[in-house]
Amino acid sequence: MIKLKNISKKFKNKIVLKNINVEINEGELVVFIGPSGCGKTTTLKMINKLINPTSGEILIDGRNIVNEDTIKLRRRMGYVIQQTGLFPHMTVKENIALIANLEKWNKDRVTKKVFELLKLVGLNSEEYIDKYPNELSGGQQQRVGIARAFMMNPEIILMDEPFSALDPITRGQLQDEVYNIQQELKKTIIFVTHDMDEALRLADRICIMNDGEVLQFDTPENILKCPANDFVKEFIGQDRIWNQPELIKVKDIMIKNPVKTIEERTLLQAIQIMQSNHVDSLLIVDSNEKLNGLVTLKDIRKTFNKNTKLKDIMEKGIVTVSDQDSIINVLEKMRKENIGYVPVVDNNTRLLGLITKSSLLYVLSNQFLDKEVLLDE
């Protein structure tokens, strides 16, 4: 939907942006992040023509914005800034409805929309609609600013460090509000911040910038696991993935070659396999690696005839997980099912690996020893 193509920017003799190439999909929440002066706010302001590039093109739905009427372009976008930008002499309703009134919307339509938006951002309409900005807290003002940005039902919302001046509790609440609104309305949101925790909490994809260049543009998960270079690694913090356990996937820590055998084996043979591999259970697969069941040493000991085939005593319909599941989900499933291990399978129930509670807890407890090795193994 939005394409920045070979964008560069100079202010006098200072190069602010260097050949930026970024594509933002429709309905995506993209966070631009980096240290002060990296060019993230300049990039944002170019999208609504507050700043013009020195070279390059910005395309929205395939159209170069240089050819678009600037006023009409801006009215098609919502814009939220740190200072809220509310007019002090206008009520909450008047601030939210400013552009709608300029467009000469019907009064009933304006009122109905303002009420809907106040509810959307968690403010009681009857209580706040006639108040002035100086009667509101910083968090309430920012909620009004967000409501105003959505008034004209724009497809694109630009947010420039909107929560950086707020206290941590209010900031967290508003981050949740924006995330929930995005899930409901699926707008295209470009969000600028210097806070990596905020980026991880909100973004579908994160664009990390430094010295006017894009260093990495990827999903939060991929950035945490595979930082593009030492700057990105240092910027995000090497321990951060371990503070975001929901982003750690089963595939990152599963045992990739669990002990397995076929169902035609006898119990005696199974015992030998267990002893030589120092395990007390076997995963049973067919010739295509499809998981058919599980046999434990406890199951085997219950059967007198050691020539019995595994297929006759194996447990079927066992609990499994996907390699894309988060370790938080796996731990919860283990707790709920009261099990100490769970096989990992693909969509065709082909065995991919094994997660055990002991190995999972071992990985988490040793998180500071060698994180990169643990993620790559």
User: pLDDT tens across 274-295, in order?
Assistant: 988 888 889 999 999 999 999 9
Q: How confident is the model at residue 170 (pLDDT cuts 50, 70, 90)?
A: confident
φ/ψ of residue 261, rounded to 5: -160, -175
For residue 245, is pLDDT > 80?
A: no
Q: What burial class does residue 255 get, using C-beta atoms within 10 Å of its C-beta: 0-12 exposed, 13-18 middle, 19+ buried?
A: middle
Give, in degrees to the nearest 5, the angle at Cα 347 between 341 and 352. 45
Beta carbons within 8 Å of 230's beta carbon, 6+ residues apart: none
The predicted-structure confidence for 121-145, as pLDDT tens digits, reads as follows 888 988 999 999 999 988 899 899 9
Structure tokens at 87: 């007019």
Contact 203, 220 (CB under 8 A): yes
For residue 373, is pLDDT > 70?
A: no
User: Which residue is associated with the tokens 């300049």?
Assistant: 42
143-152, 155-164, 296-305: range with lowest mean pLDDT: 296-305
Give the number of other CB atoms < 10 A from CB of residue 177: 17
The predicted-structure confidence for 285-327, as pLDDT tens digits, reads as follows 999 999 999 998 888 888 878 889 999 999 998 999 998 888 8
For residue 371, is pLDDT > 50?
A: no
Q: What is the mean pLDDT of the chain?
A: 87
Structural domains in the chain, CATH included, are: 2-247 (3.40.50.300), 251-376 (3.10.580.10)
For residue 365, is pLDDT > 60?
A: no
The strand ranges marked E within 116-170 are 156-160
The predicted-structure confidence for 70-84, as pLDDT tens digits, reads as follows 988 988 899 988 777
- What 8-state DSSP symbol labels residue 256? S
- What 8-state DSSP symbol labels residue 259? -
Contact 84, 142 (CB under 8 A): yes
Q: How confident is the model at residue 370 (pLDDT cuts 50, 70, 90)?
A: very low
337-342-345-347 Cα dihedral, nearest 10 degrees? 10
User: Residue 53: how many CA atoms within 13 Å on its side-chain side?
Assistant: 25
Q: How far apart are CA 330 and CA 355, in angstroms?
A: 8
**What is the pLDDT, as a whole number, of residue 115?**
93
**What is the pLDDT, as a whole number, of residue 243?**
62
User: What pTM does this model have?
Assistant: 0.68
Beta carbons within 8 Å of 285's beta carbon, 6+ residues apart: 260, 261, 262, 291, 292, 351
Q: How far apart are CA 90 and CA 208, in angstroms?
A: 38
105-114, 144-153, 351-360, 368-377: range with lowest mean pLDDT: 368-377
Partners of 322 in the β-ladder: 345
- If you average pLDDT over residues 352-372, what whole number do you get? 64
The predicted-structure confidence for 194-225, as pLDDT tens digits, reads as follows 888 888 888 999 999 999 999 999 988 788 87
Residue count of the chain, please give it.
Answer: 377
The predicted-structure confidence for 23-77, as pLDDT tens digits, reads as follows 999 999 999 999 988 999 999 999 999 999 999 999 999 999 999 999 889 888 9
